[in-house]
A and B are shown apart, each in its own frame.
Chain A
Amino acid sequence: MPTTTLLDARAIQRALQRMASEVVERCGGTADLLLVGIQRRGVELAERIGALIEGAEGTAVPRGKLDITLYRDDLQAIGPRPVVSETRLPPSLDGRTVVIVDDVLYTGRTIRAALDEFADFGRPRRILLCVLVDRGGRELPIQPDIVGLALGTQPGDRVDVLVRELDGRDAVELVREVA
Protein backbone atom coordinates (compact mmCIF):
# COMPACT_ATOMS: atom_id res chain seq x y z
CA MET A 1 0.00 0.00 0.00
CA PRO A 2 1.54 3.28 -1.09
CA THR A 3 2.20 5.74 1.71
CA THR A 4 2.60 9.47 1.08
CA THR A 5 3.91 11.81 3.74
CA LEU A 6 1.57 14.78 3.86
CA LEU A 7 3.32 16.64 6.68
CA ASP A 8 6.73 16.00 8.18
CA ALA A 9 7.81 17.02 11.66
CA ARG A 10 8.75 20.58 10.65
CA ALA A 11 5.52 21.06 8.71
CA ILE A 12 3.49 19.85 11.68
CA GLN A 13 5.35 22.27 13.93
CA ARG A 14 4.52 25.17 11.54
CA ALA A 15 0.88 24.10 11.30
CA LEU A 16 0.50 23.90 15.07
CA GLN A 17 2.14 27.33 15.43
CA ARG A 18 -0.41 28.83 13.08
CA MET A 19 -3.30 26.94 14.73
CA ALA A 20 -2.21 28.23 18.15
CA SER A 21 -2.32 31.83 16.87
CA GLU A 22 -5.72 31.25 15.31
CA VAL A 23 -7.09 29.83 18.57
CA VAL A 24 -6.09 33.01 20.42
CA GLU A 25 -7.45 35.21 17.63
CA ARG A 26 -10.75 33.39 17.31
CA CYS A 27 -11.26 33.36 21.07
CA GLY A 28 -10.24 36.97 21.55
CA GLY A 29 -7.45 36.07 24.00
CA THR A 30 -7.03 33.32 26.57
CA ALA A 31 -9.61 34.25 29.22
CA ASP A 32 -11.88 31.30 30.11
CA LEU A 33 -10.14 29.25 27.40
CA LEU A 34 -10.09 25.44 27.82
CA LEU A 35 -8.29 23.16 25.37
CA VAL A 36 -9.78 19.67 25.33
CA GLY A 37 -7.93 16.91 23.49
CA ILE A 38 -9.87 13.93 22.23
CA GLN A 39 -8.30 10.62 23.29
CA ARG A 40 -5.86 9.42 22.03
CA ARG A 41 -3.78 11.74 19.80
CA GLY A 42 -5.89 14.84 20.25
CA VAL A 43 -4.61 14.91 23.83
CA GLU A 44 -1.00 15.28 22.66
CA LEU A 45 -1.89 17.91 20.07
CA ALA A 46 -3.85 19.95 22.64
CA GLU A 47 -0.86 19.74 24.95
CA ARG A 48 1.44 21.18 22.28
CA ILE A 49 -0.94 23.91 21.14
CA GLY A 50 -1.43 24.85 24.79
CA ALA A 51 2.32 25.11 25.31
CA LEU A 52 2.68 27.28 22.19
CA ILE A 53 -0.08 29.65 23.39
CA GLU A 54 1.44 29.83 26.85
CA GLY A 55 4.82 30.66 25.30
CA ALA A 56 3.38 33.42 23.16
CA GLU A 57 0.87 34.89 25.63
CA GLY A 58 2.64 34.28 28.92
CA THR A 59 -0.50 32.98 30.63
CA ALA A 60 -1.46 29.50 31.74
CA VAL A 61 -3.94 27.68 29.48
CA PRO A 62 -5.93 24.89 31.18
CA ARG A 63 -6.20 21.57 29.37
CA GLY A 64 -8.63 18.71 29.58
CA LYS A 65 -8.96 15.31 28.00
CA LEU A 66 -12.03 13.58 26.76
CA ASP A 67 -12.71 9.94 25.93
CA ILE A 68 -15.81 9.63 23.82
CA THR A 69 -15.94 5.82 23.74
CA LEU A 70 -18.98 5.69 26.03
CA TYR A 71 -20.83 8.16 23.80
CA ARG A 72 -20.23 6.31 20.56
CA ASP A 73 -23.21 5.08 18.59
CA ASP A 74 -21.47 1.90 17.42
CA LEU A 75 -20.82 -0.12 20.59
CA GLN A 76 -21.59 -3.35 18.74
CA ALA A 77 -18.83 -2.71 16.23
CA ILE A 78 -16.09 -2.08 18.78
CA GLY A 79 -13.17 -4.43 18.44
CA PRO A 80 -12.10 -7.19 20.78
CA ARG A 81 -10.63 -4.85 23.39
CA PRO A 82 -12.82 -1.77 23.71
CA VAL A 83 -10.34 0.43 25.56
CA VAL A 84 -11.90 3.24 27.53
CA SER A 85 -9.35 5.96 28.28
CA GLU A 86 -9.32 8.66 30.88
CA THR A 87 -11.64 11.67 30.78
CA ARG A 88 -10.45 14.66 32.81
CA LEU A 89 -12.38 17.92 32.70
CA PRO A 90 -12.82 20.77 35.21
CA PRO A 91 -15.85 20.36 37.51
CA SER A 92 -17.91 22.77 35.41
CA LEU A 93 -17.73 23.97 31.83
CA ASP A 94 -20.29 26.73 32.39
CA GLY A 95 -19.24 29.99 30.69
CA ARG A 96 -16.01 28.64 29.25
CA THR A 97 -14.74 28.78 25.71
CA VAL A 98 -13.92 25.18 24.86
CA VAL A 99 -11.63 24.33 21.96
CA ILE A 100 -11.87 20.70 20.95
CA VAL A 101 -8.57 19.45 19.59
CA ASP A 102 -8.44 16.28 17.49
CA ASP A 103 -6.03 14.80 15.00
CA VAL A 104 -8.25 13.97 12.01
CA LEU A 105 -11.78 15.11 11.15
CA TYR A 106 -13.60 12.64 8.92
CA THR A 107 -17.25 11.53 9.33
CA GLY A 108 -17.92 13.93 12.21
CA ARG A 109 -19.27 11.19 14.48
CA THR A 110 -16.50 11.55 17.06
CA ILE A 111 -17.24 15.26 17.36
CA ARG A 112 -20.97 14.59 17.61
CA ALA A 113 -20.23 12.25 20.55
CA ALA A 114 -17.91 14.84 22.11
CA LEU A 115 -20.59 17.55 21.88
CA ASP A 116 -23.10 15.23 23.58
CA GLU A 117 -20.60 14.49 26.31
CA PHE A 118 -19.85 18.20 26.90
CA ALA A 119 -23.57 18.79 27.34
CA ASP A 120 -23.46 16.42 30.33
CA PHE A 121 -20.64 18.44 31.90
CA GLY A 122 -22.34 21.83 31.76
CA ARG A 123 -22.98 24.68 29.34
CA PRO A 124 -19.88 26.15 27.71
CA ARG A 125 -20.28 29.70 26.33
CA ARG A 126 -18.84 28.60 23.05
CA ILE A 127 -17.25 25.46 21.52
CA LEU A 128 -14.73 25.57 18.66
CA LEU A 129 -13.28 22.69 16.72
CA CYS A 130 -9.58 22.57 15.90
CA VAL A 131 -8.17 19.66 13.85
CA LEU A 132 -4.77 18.95 12.40
CA VAL A 133 -6.19 17.27 9.29
CA ASP A 134 -9.61 17.67 7.68
CA ARG A 135 -9.91 14.80 5.23
CA GLY A 136 -13.49 15.51 4.12
CA GLY A 137 -16.11 12.74 3.93
CA ARG A 138 -18.51 14.17 6.52
CA GLU A 139 -21.64 12.21 7.45
CA LEU A 140 -22.96 14.88 9.82
CA PRO A 141 -23.30 18.68 9.52
CA ILE A 142 -20.12 19.44 11.45
CA GLN A 143 -17.33 21.74 10.26
CA PRO A 144 -13.97 22.68 11.79
CA ASP A 145 -13.08 26.21 12.83
CA ILE A 146 -9.32 25.82 12.72
CA VAL A 147 -7.55 23.41 10.36
CA GLY A 148 -3.89 22.48 9.93
CA LEU A 149 -4.30 20.80 6.57
CA ALA A 150 -7.36 20.20 4.43
CA LEU A 151 -7.43 17.58 1.68
CA GLY A 152 -9.84 15.36 -0.20
CA THR A 153 -9.55 11.57 0.31
CA GLN A 154 -11.22 8.39 -0.86
CA PRO A 155 -13.29 6.24 1.55
CA GLY A 156 -10.68 3.45 1.50
CA ASP A 157 -7.81 5.80 2.38
CA ARG A 158 -6.28 6.05 5.80
CA VAL A 159 -4.83 9.23 7.28
CA ASP A 160 -2.37 8.45 10.08
CA VAL A 161 -1.26 11.14 12.48
CA LEU A 162 1.89 10.10 14.32
CA VAL A 163 3.10 11.94 17.40
CA ARG A 164 6.46 11.70 19.17
CA GLU A 165 4.93 10.96 22.54
CA LEU A 166 3.14 7.83 21.38
CA ASP A 167 4.68 6.88 18.05
CA GLY A 168 8.28 8.07 18.36
CA ARG A 169 8.06 10.58 15.52
CA ASP A 170 5.88 13.35 14.15
CA ALA A 171 4.26 12.85 10.75
CA VAL A 172 0.98 12.90 8.88
CA GLU A 173 0.77 10.11 6.32
CA LEU A 174 -1.78 9.15 3.70
CA VAL A 175 -2.11 5.41 3.12
CA ARG A 176 -3.89 4.86 -0.13
CA GLU A 177 -5.90 1.76 -0.88
CA VAL A 178 -4.67 -0.06 -3.99
CA ALA A 179 -7.54 -0.44 -6.44
Chain B
Amino acid sequence: MTSAALGKDLVGLEPLTADQIRLILDTAEPFKEVSERPIKKVPALRGKTIVNLFFENSTRTRISFEFAEKRLSADTVNVATSGSSVAKGETLVDTARNLEAMRIDMVVIRHGASGAARFLGERIRSNVINAGDGKHEHPTQGLLDMLTLRDRFGRLEGLKVAIVGDILHSRVARSNIWGLTKLGAEVAVCGPPSLLPRNVRDLGVTVLPRIEDAIAWADALNVLRLQLERMQAGFIPSLREYNRVFGVTSERLARAPRELAILHPGPMNRGVEIDSDVADGPHSVILPQVTNGVAVRMAVLYLLAGGSPDWRTEAGE
Protein backbone atom coordinates (compact mmCIF):
# COMPACT_ATOMS: atom_id res chain seq x y z
CA MET B 1 0.00 0.00 0.00
CA THR B 2 1.15 3.47 -0.72
CA SER B 3 1.41 6.28 1.73
CA ALA B 4 -0.22 9.35 0.29
CA ALA B 5 2.63 11.55 1.50
CA LEU B 6 5.71 9.69 0.24
CA GLY B 7 4.64 6.76 -1.91
CA LYS B 8 5.34 3.16 -1.02
CA ASP B 9 9.10 3.15 -0.59
CA LEU B 10 11.92 5.48 0.31
CA VAL B 11 14.61 4.48 -2.14
CA GLY B 12 16.41 7.79 -2.42
CA LEU B 13 16.10 11.54 -2.31
CA GLU B 14 16.43 11.90 -6.09
CA PRO B 15 12.80 10.89 -6.75
CA LEU B 16 11.35 13.09 -3.97
CA THR B 17 10.00 16.59 -4.41
CA ALA B 18 11.18 19.50 -2.29
CA ASP B 19 7.82 19.44 -0.50
CA GLN B 20 8.17 15.78 0.37
CA ILE B 21 11.65 16.33 1.78
CA ARG B 22 10.39 19.31 3.79
CA LEU B 23 7.53 17.20 5.13
CA ILE B 24 9.97 14.59 6.42
CA LEU B 25 12.20 17.21 8.04
CA ASP B 26 9.19 18.98 9.60
CA THR B 27 7.76 15.69 10.84
CA ALA B 28 11.12 14.86 12.42
CA GLU B 29 10.88 17.93 14.68
CA PRO B 30 8.18 16.60 17.05
CA PHE B 31 9.89 13.20 17.06
CA LYS B 32 12.99 14.75 18.59
CA GLU B 33 10.86 15.44 21.67
CA VAL B 34 9.68 11.83 21.91
CA SER B 35 13.27 10.77 22.55
CA GLU B 36 13.39 13.21 25.51
CA ARG B 37 10.31 11.73 27.24
CA PRO B 38 10.49 9.62 30.39
CA ILE B 39 9.01 6.76 28.40
CA LYS B 40 10.63 7.14 24.99
CA LYS B 41 7.88 5.43 23.11
CA VAL B 42 4.65 6.25 21.33
CA PRO B 43 2.19 3.68 19.99
CA ALA B 44 1.99 5.02 16.43
CA LEU B 45 3.29 1.81 14.77
CA ARG B 46 1.88 -0.65 17.29
CA GLY B 47 1.28 -3.99 15.60
CA LYS B 48 3.51 -3.22 12.61
CA THR B 49 6.28 -5.68 11.88
CA ILE B 50 9.53 -4.39 10.49
CA VAL B 51 12.52 -6.36 9.26
CA ASN B 52 15.96 -4.79 9.31
CA LEU B 53 17.65 -6.64 6.48
CA PHE B 54 21.34 -5.87 6.59
CA PHE B 55 23.50 -7.42 3.89
CA GLU B 56 26.38 -5.20 4.96
CA ASN B 57 27.55 -4.58 8.47
CA SER B 58 26.49 -1.24 9.85
CA THR B 59 26.12 -1.08 13.58
CA ARG B 60 25.38 2.62 13.60
CA THR B 61 22.62 2.76 11.00
CA ARG B 62 21.01 -0.45 12.20
CA ILE B 63 20.87 0.70 15.81
CA SER B 64 19.48 4.06 14.78
CA PHE B 65 16.71 2.40 12.77
CA GLU B 66 16.04 -0.05 15.56
CA PHE B 67 15.63 2.74 18.12
CA ALA B 68 13.35 4.61 15.73
CA GLU B 69 11.21 1.51 15.21
CA LYS B 70 11.03 0.66 18.90
CA ARG B 71 10.17 4.22 19.91
CA LEU B 72 7.23 3.94 17.53
CA SER B 73 6.21 0.60 19.15
CA ALA B 74 6.81 -1.51 16.04
CA ASP B 75 7.86 -5.15 16.33
CA THR B 76 11.28 -5.56 14.78
CA VAL B 77 13.43 -8.41 13.59
CA ASN B 78 17.05 -8.03 12.59
CA VAL B 79 18.40 -10.17 9.79
CA ALA B 80 22.11 -9.97 9.21
CA THR B 81 23.68 -11.84 6.31
CA SER B 82 25.99 -14.02 8.36
CA GLY B 83 24.06 -17.00 9.67
CA SER B 84 21.01 -16.28 7.53
CA SER B 85 19.81 -18.07 4.43
CA VAL B 86 21.37 -15.20 2.48
CA ALA B 87 24.79 -16.49 3.46
CA LYS B 88 23.72 -19.86 2.09
CA GLY B 89 23.29 -18.40 -1.37
CA GLU B 90 19.66 -17.36 -1.34
CA THR B 91 18.99 -14.72 -3.96
CA LEU B 92 17.56 -11.35 -3.11
CA VAL B 93 14.38 -12.16 -5.00
CA ASP B 94 13.84 -15.31 -2.93
CA THR B 95 14.51 -13.38 0.26
CA ALA B 96 11.92 -10.87 -0.91
CA ARG B 97 9.33 -13.55 -1.59
CA ASN B 98 9.85 -15.06 1.83
CA LEU B 99 9.39 -11.73 3.55
CA GLU B 100 6.25 -11.23 1.51
CA ALA B 101 4.92 -14.58 2.64
CA MET B 102 5.53 -13.65 6.26
CA ARG B 103 3.38 -10.53 5.91
CA ILE B 104 6.03 -8.07 6.93
CA ASP B 105 4.80 -4.46 6.92
CA MET B 106 8.11 -2.76 6.28
CA VAL B 107 11.63 -3.70 5.29
CA VAL B 108 14.70 -1.62 6.01
CA ILE B 109 17.43 -2.81 3.67
CA ARG B 110 21.17 -2.20 3.59
CA HIS B 111 22.87 -3.83 0.61
CA GLY B 112 26.17 -3.62 -1.22
CA ALA B 113 24.61 -3.43 -4.69
CA SER B 114 23.31 -0.14 -6.06
CA GLY B 115 19.61 -0.45 -6.84
CA ALA B 116 18.98 -3.29 -4.37
CA ALA B 117 16.39 -1.32 -2.37
CA ARG B 118 14.45 -0.41 -5.47
CA PHE B 119 14.70 -3.99 -6.72
CA LEU B 120 13.15 -5.21 -3.48
CA GLY B 121 10.50 -2.49 -3.43
CA GLU B 122 9.35 -3.41 -6.92
CA ARG B 123 8.83 -7.02 -5.90
CA ILE B 124 7.04 -6.83 -2.55
CA ARG B 125 4.05 -4.94 -1.30
CA SER B 126 5.65 -4.05 2.02
CA ASN B 127 7.12 -0.58 2.37
CA VAL B 128 10.85 -0.59 1.68
CA ILE B 129 13.28 1.88 3.19
CA ASN B 130 16.77 2.15 1.76
CA ALA B 131 19.36 2.15 4.52
CA GLY B 132 22.17 2.41 1.97
CA ASP B 133 22.48 0.59 -1.38
CA GLY B 134 25.94 0.29 -2.85
CA LYS B 135 27.14 3.61 -4.17
CA HIS B 136 23.64 4.84 -4.95
CA GLU B 137 21.83 6.52 -2.06
CA HIS B 138 21.53 6.59 1.71
CA PRO B 139 18.45 8.78 1.99
CA THR B 140 17.99 8.82 5.76
CA GLN B 141 21.62 9.88 6.18
CA GLY B 142 21.04 12.69 3.70
CA LEU B 143 17.92 13.73 5.61
CA LEU B 144 19.60 13.71 9.01
CA ASP B 145 22.47 15.77 7.63
CA MET B 146 19.94 18.27 6.29
CA LEU B 147 18.03 18.37 9.57
CA THR B 148 21.29 18.98 11.45
CA LEU B 149 22.22 21.80 9.08
CA ARG B 150 18.76 23.32 9.38
CA ASP B 151 18.99 23.18 13.18
CA ARG B 152 22.39 24.85 13.12
CA PHE B 153 21.69 27.56 10.53
CA GLY B 154 17.91 27.90 10.70
CA ARG B 155 17.66 27.48 6.96
CA LEU B 156 18.92 25.44 4.04
CA GLU B 157 18.17 27.82 1.22
CA GLY B 158 21.31 29.59 0.10
CA LEU B 159 23.46 27.59 2.51
CA LYS B 160 26.85 26.60 1.12
CA VAL B 161 27.70 22.99 1.84
CA ALA B 162 30.92 21.35 0.69
CA ILE B 163 31.03 17.56 0.62
CA VAL B 164 34.61 16.46 1.04
CA GLY B 165 36.33 13.19 0.22
CA ASP B 166 35.51 10.07 -1.77
CA ILE B 167 32.48 11.26 -3.73
CA LEU B 168 32.83 8.49 -6.33
CA HIS B 169 31.96 5.65 -3.98
CA SER B 170 29.67 7.58 -1.64
CA ARG B 171 25.94 7.04 -1.36
CA VAL B 172 25.93 9.66 1.42
CA ALA B 173 27.27 12.21 -1.04
CA ARG B 174 24.61 11.43 -3.62
CA SER B 175 21.73 11.68 -1.14
CA ASN B 176 23.12 14.94 0.22
CA ILE B 177 23.53 16.38 -3.26
CA TRP B 178 19.93 15.57 -4.25
CA GLY B 179 18.35 16.68 -0.99
CA LEU B 180 20.31 19.87 -0.50
CA THR B 181 20.01 21.10 -4.07
CA LYS B 182 16.27 20.44 -4.08
CA LEU B 183 15.89 22.62 -0.99
CA GLY B 184 17.91 25.45 -2.48
CA ALA B 185 21.31 24.95 -0.86
CA GLU B 186 24.49 25.41 -2.86
CA VAL B 187 26.57 22.27 -2.94
CA ALA B 188 30.21 21.81 -3.82
CA VAL B 189 32.24 18.62 -3.87
CA CYS B 190 35.92 18.47 -3.05
CA GLY B 191 38.26 15.51 -3.25
CA PRO B 192 40.99 13.89 -5.31
CA PRO B 193 39.87 13.90 -8.97
CA SER B 194 40.30 10.12 -8.98
CA LEU B 195 37.49 9.96 -6.41
CA LEU B 196 35.05 12.29 -8.18
CA PRO B 197 32.43 10.63 -10.41
CA ARG B 198 32.16 11.39 -14.11
CA ASN B 199 29.76 14.23 -15.01
CA VAL B 200 29.33 15.15 -11.35
CA ARG B 201 28.77 18.81 -12.29
CA ASP B 202 25.62 17.74 -14.13
CA LEU B 203 24.13 16.89 -10.73
CA GLY B 204 24.09 20.63 -10.03
CA VAL B 205 27.23 20.92 -7.91
CA THR B 206 30.44 22.90 -8.09
CA VAL B 207 33.77 21.11 -8.06
CA LEU B 208 36.39 22.64 -5.79
CA PRO B 209 39.79 21.12 -6.46
CA ARG B 210 41.46 21.95 -3.15
CA ILE B 211 40.33 21.57 0.45
CA GLU B 212 41.51 25.13 1.13
CA ASP B 213 39.04 26.35 -1.51
CA ALA B 214 36.21 24.40 0.11
CA ILE B 215 37.00 25.83 3.55
CA ALA B 216 37.13 29.36 2.17
CA TRP B 217 33.79 28.91 0.36
CA ALA B 218 31.54 26.87 2.61
CA ASP B 219 29.23 27.39 5.57
CA ALA B 220 29.46 23.71 6.40
CA LEU B 221 31.72 20.80 5.52
CA ASN B 222 30.34 17.29 5.28
CA VAL B 223 33.46 15.15 5.60
CA LEU B 224 33.05 11.67 4.16
CA ARG B 225 34.67 8.57 5.49
CA LEU B 226 37.61 7.43 3.37
CA GLN B 227 37.34 3.68 2.88
CA LEU B 228 40.74 2.21 3.52
CA GLU B 229 40.32 -0.11 0.51
CA ARG B 230 40.60 2.89 -1.80
CA MET B 231 44.30 2.99 -1.21
CA GLN B 232 44.75 -0.65 -2.17
CA ALA B 233 42.69 -0.04 -5.30
CA GLY B 234 45.09 2.68 -6.34
CA PHE B 235 42.76 5.68 -6.10
CA ILE B 236 45.09 7.49 -3.69
CA PRO B 237 48.75 6.97 -2.94
CA SER B 238 48.51 6.67 0.85
CA LEU B 239 46.43 7.70 3.85
CA ARG B 240 49.24 9.93 5.05
CA GLU B 241 49.29 11.73 1.73
CA TYR B 242 45.50 12.00 1.76
CA ASN B 243 45.55 13.63 5.18
CA ARG B 244 48.28 16.00 4.08
CA VAL B 245 46.42 17.13 0.94
CA PHE B 246 42.70 16.73 1.79
CA GLY B 247 42.50 16.26 5.57
CA VAL B 248 40.23 18.62 7.51
CA THR B 249 42.65 19.90 10.12
CA SER B 250 42.34 22.62 12.72
CA GLU B 251 45.20 24.54 11.04
CA ARG B 252 43.22 24.67 7.82
CA LEU B 253 39.97 25.55 9.61
CA ALA B 254 41.71 28.37 11.46
CA ARG B 255 42.01 30.17 8.15
CA ALA B 256 38.29 29.90 7.38
CA PRO B 257 36.63 33.30 6.90
CA ARG B 258 33.62 32.16 8.97
CA GLU B 259 32.79 29.53 11.52
CA LEU B 260 32.12 26.28 9.73
CA ALA B 261 29.84 23.51 10.88
CA ILE B 262 31.56 20.14 10.54
CA LEU B 263 29.52 17.05 9.72
CA HIS B 264 30.69 13.46 9.35
CA PRO B 265 28.45 10.45 8.66
CA GLY B 266 30.76 8.19 10.69
CA PRO B 267 32.49 6.05 11.54
CA MET B 268 35.45 8.44 11.45
CA ASN B 269 39.04 7.67 10.52
CA ARG B 270 40.62 10.12 12.91
CA GLY B 271 43.83 11.47 11.48
CA VAL B 272 42.89 10.57 7.92
CA GLU B 273 39.96 12.59 6.57
CA ILE B 274 39.42 14.50 9.81
CA ASP B 275 41.65 15.39 12.74
CA SER B 276 40.54 14.57 16.26
CA ASP B 277 40.56 18.16 17.46
CA VAL B 278 38.17 19.05 14.63
CA ALA B 279 35.89 16.07 15.26
CA ASP B 280 35.70 16.88 18.97
CA GLY B 281 35.87 20.64 18.53
CA PRO B 282 33.24 23.32 19.02
CA HIS B 283 32.15 23.39 15.36
CA SER B 284 31.49 19.69 15.13
CA VAL B 285 27.82 18.72 14.88
CA ILE B 286 28.66 15.05 14.59
CA LEU B 287 26.82 14.00 17.75
CA PRO B 288 23.68 16.06 16.97
CA GLN B 289 23.72 14.20 13.63
CA VAL B 290 23.42 10.93 15.50
CA THR B 291 20.55 12.24 17.64
CA ASN B 292 18.76 13.58 14.58
CA GLY B 293 19.23 10.26 12.84
CA VAL B 294 16.70 8.62 15.15
CA ALA B 295 14.16 11.45 14.72
CA VAL B 296 14.45 11.45 10.92
CA ARG B 297 14.06 7.68 10.75
CA MET B 298 11.01 7.85 13.02
CA ALA B 299 9.52 10.44 10.69
CA VAL B 300 10.16 8.31 7.61
CA LEU B 301 8.73 5.17 9.22
CA TYR B 302 5.71 7.08 10.44
CA LEU B 303 5.00 8.76 7.11
CA LEU B 304 5.39 5.58 5.08
CA ALA B 305 3.15 3.68 7.53
CA GLY B 306 0.35 6.08 6.64
CA GLY B 307 -0.70 3.21 4.40
CA SER B 308 -0.16 -0.47 5.04
CA PRO B 309 -0.11 -3.49 2.73
CA ASP B 310 -3.56 -4.85 2.08
CA TRP B 311 -3.01 -8.58 1.80
CA ARG B 312 -6.66 -9.25 1.16
CA THR B 313 -6.54 -7.79 -2.32
CA GLU B 314 -4.09 -10.39 -3.52
CA ALA B 315 -5.70 -12.49 -6.19
CA GLY B 316 -5.72 -16.22 -5.67
CA GLU B 317 -4.93 -16.16 -1.98
Binding site for B on A (CB under 8 A): 67, 69-72, 75-76, 78-88, 91-92, 116-117, 120-122
Contacts and interface: CB of A to CB of B under 8 A. Distances in A.
A154 to B, nearest CB: 29
A76 B38 contact: no
Nearest to A119: B39
Nearest to B31: A84
Contacts, number: 56
B305 A75 contact: yes
Interface stretch (B41-49, B147-155, B286-294): B41-49
Interface of B: 4-5, 23, 27, 29-31, 33-34, 37-39, 41-45, 72, 302-303, 305-308
B22 to A, nearest CB: 11
Q: Is the interface of B mostly helix, strand, loop or mixed?
A: loop
A92 B307 CA distance: 34
A71 to B, nearest CB: 6
Given A75-B44, A82-B5, A87 B308 contact: no
Contact of A70 (B4, B38, B42, B303): B42
Contacts of A86: 29-30, 33
B39 A120 contact: yes
B43 A85 contact: no
Given A76-B308, A80-B5, A84-B302, 10 more contacts: A71-B44, A75-B305, A75-B306, A80-B4, A81-B5, A87-B34, A92-B38, A120-B37, A120-B38, A121-B37
16 contacts: A69-B44, A70-B72, A72-B44, A76-B307, A83-B27, A84-B31, A84-B302, A85-B30, A86-B30, A87-B30, A88-B33, A91-B38, A117-B42, A121-B37, A121-B38, A121-B39
